[in-house]
Chains A and B, each alone.
Chain A
Amino acid sequence: MRRRRTQVSSAVLVYVILFLTLQLFLLAVAAEGFLAGEVGLAWSATAISTVLAVMSVLFYRFLPTRD
């Protein structure tokens, strides 16, 4: 059971790290949109980043309460 919990928490961590990495890229895209005056691009990056943040929160809820 403990091994199962470890696997689940590792999977959640991997996903959250992946999401965060993507979000950092999207932050750079939003900054590029800002510098280029392309507001639509910045907002699109923000929308995707927000979805990823929500998914991170949802994944966090899957984390077992005890490791």
Chain B
Amino acid sequence: MTEAGPIWRRDFPYTSEGEDGVTRREFARFLVAASVAVAGGSGVVSLWASLRTINTGAPRRVVSLDQVSVGDSYLFRYPTENDPAILIRHDDETILGFSQKCTHLGCVVFWAPAEQHFECPCHEGIFNLSGEPTAGPPERPLGRIEMEVRDGDIWALGANEDAT
């Protein structure tokens, strides 16, 4: 440092208004205020998580049973039009319904019939036929949708909270 100031000041002789006006105390005050604000933000997020109601959907017809062959999948939307879902016809009467949202980062999973599992193309997450994660980054199972066959039609009866 010289009497004229630090050496870098000669190389970078620019100033901005008020740059010398912030004391350590003011900077610390700003940080403490940010700290309180972040704690408050966490509280808001937690409160929102506690108070929100999750739409698990009402029973509705999805597709005719004849349109889905055994071993095939069918894409639909449930419980709302913004929730992609997939059903698998495992055998004549067993229909399995899942949310298509990967539980890692929400990408849409697809059914790989040859491997008999769900795959997430984003990070190669794999879910088995029960929706349980078997490989890749996902740690939680796919959201389940309760399905039923009524009079030759496949119905979605309701989703668990993870499916929304």
Contacts and interface: CB of A to CB of B under 8 A. Distances in A.
Interface in B27-54: 27-29, 31-32, 34-36, 38-39, 41-43, 45-46, 48-50, 54
Contact of B42 (A10, A20, A30): A30
A31 B41 CA distance: 10
Interface residues of B, number: 26
Given A23-B38, A37-B54, A53-B36, A46 B43 contact: yes
A27 B43 contact: no
Contacts of B28: 9, 12-13, 16, 60, 63
Identify whether the interface residues of A are mostly helix, strand, loop, or mixed.
helix
Nearest to A23: B38
A9 B39 contact: no
B39 A49 contact: yes
Q: Which of B24, B31, B35 has the most CB of A within 10 A?
A: B35
B46 A46 contact: yes
Given A16-B35, A20-B31, A36 B140 contact: yes
Contacts of A53: 32, 35-36, 38-39
Nearest to A5: B24
B32 A57 contact: yes
A31 B139 CA distance: 16
A16 B32 contact: yes
Q: Which of B28, B29, B43, B46 has the most CB of A within 10 A?
A: B46
Interface of B: 23-25, 27-29, 31-32, 34-36, 38-39, 41-43, 45-46, 48-50, 54, 103, 140, 161-162
16 contacts: A27-B45, A30-B42, A33-B45, A34-B45, A34-B48, A36-B140, A36-B162, A37-B49, A42-B42, A45-B42, A46-B42, A50-B43, A53-B36, A56-B35, A65-B25, A67-B23
